[in-house]
Amino acid sequence: VQDVTNKINDALGFYPVIAHTQLLTLMVQSNFAILFIGLVFNILIILFVVISVLLIYSLLMITTETKTFDIGVTRLVGLSSYGFVAMIFTQAVMFVIPSIIFAYVCSFPALYMIFYVFFDNDFVKGQISIVPTGAATAEAVAIGLFIPTLSAIVPIQRALAKTLSESLNTARATLSGTVVIIEDKNVRVVPYIIFGFL
């Protein structure tokens, strides 16, 4: 807006011209609110991406650790490293594809409600469409494919780091855990019947 106003003033010359930019004044007043809302949405997107990466990472780690023998047999038959990477990546993408489709379908009623509340007149006239643009769809698909790609790096490295003999060794457990039981000696055991009457 300011650039257009400056060009108009330059075209009119040195005449006493005063430009009143009411729209720019209103935008300056709400500038900080728009920046704050954008920052909040960016933080939420980052948090959801991190949570999704950790969730898919844990699922892939459980799969690779519990199926070590199966992976060793497939490698013994002739599965290459590239084939194993493609298999793990395909499994990671299969976790994400239903969520991408579900989110894309749910975006239509969500955009309908938002546009109906904020842009009632323009929405009724058909000037605003609830269909996501191509850039928004491409960005959503890119983020959806970036999450499983980032999640599959460590499980693939852990699985490929094991030799074939370690994968086929069923005598040695690949998973080990520790059970911790905390007991309180001073606890008072109340019968369930008495607790029910209370």
With respect to residue 153, please indicate whether it lies within any of the assigned structural domains: yes
121: confidence class by pLDDT, cuts 50, 70, 90: low
With respect to residue 160, please indicate whether it lies within any of the assigned structural domains: yes
With respect to residue 125, please indicate whether it lies within any of the assigned structural domains: yes
With respect to residue 189, please indicate whether it lies within any of the assigned structural domains: no
Residue 148 has pLDDT above 60, yes or no: yes
- The mean pLDDT value for 22-44 works out to 79
With respect to residue 183, please indicate whether it lies within any of the assigned structural domains: no
- The mean pLDDT value for 138-144 works out to 87
Question: Which residues fall within 8 angstroms of residue 116, CB to CB, at 6 or more apart?
Answer: 123
The larger pLDDT score, comparing residue 46 to residue 126, is at 46
What is the average pLDDT score of the chain? 76
Residue 43 has pLDDT above 90, yes or no: yes
DSSP 3-state of 36: helix
Give residue 12's domain range.
2-170
With respect to residue 196, please indicate whether it lies within any of the assigned structural domains: no
Length of the chain as a residue count: 198
Percent of the residues in the chain that have a pLDDT greater than 90, as a whole number: 2
With respect to residue 182, please indicate whether it lies within any of the assigned structural domains: no
pLDDT of residue 162: 78
- The mean pLDDT value for 35-44 works out to 88
Residue 125 has phi, psi (to 5 degrees) of -75, -10
47: confidence class by pLDDT, cuts 50, 70, 90: very high
pLDDT of residue 191: 57
pLDDT of residue 37: 85
With respect to residue 193, please indicate whether it lies within any of the assigned structural domains: no
- What DSSP string runs through 113-150? HHHHHH-HHHHHHT-S--SPPHHHHHHHHHHHHHHHHH
Residue 103 has pLDDT above 60, yes or no: yes
pLDDT of residue 92: 85
Residue 29 has pLDDT above 90, yes or no: no
Q: Name, of 36-50, 125-139, 166-180, the range with top average pLDDT.
A: 36-50
* 20 and 34 Cβ atoms separated by less than 8 Å: no
Q: How many domains does the chain have?
A: 1
pLDDT of residue 62: 83
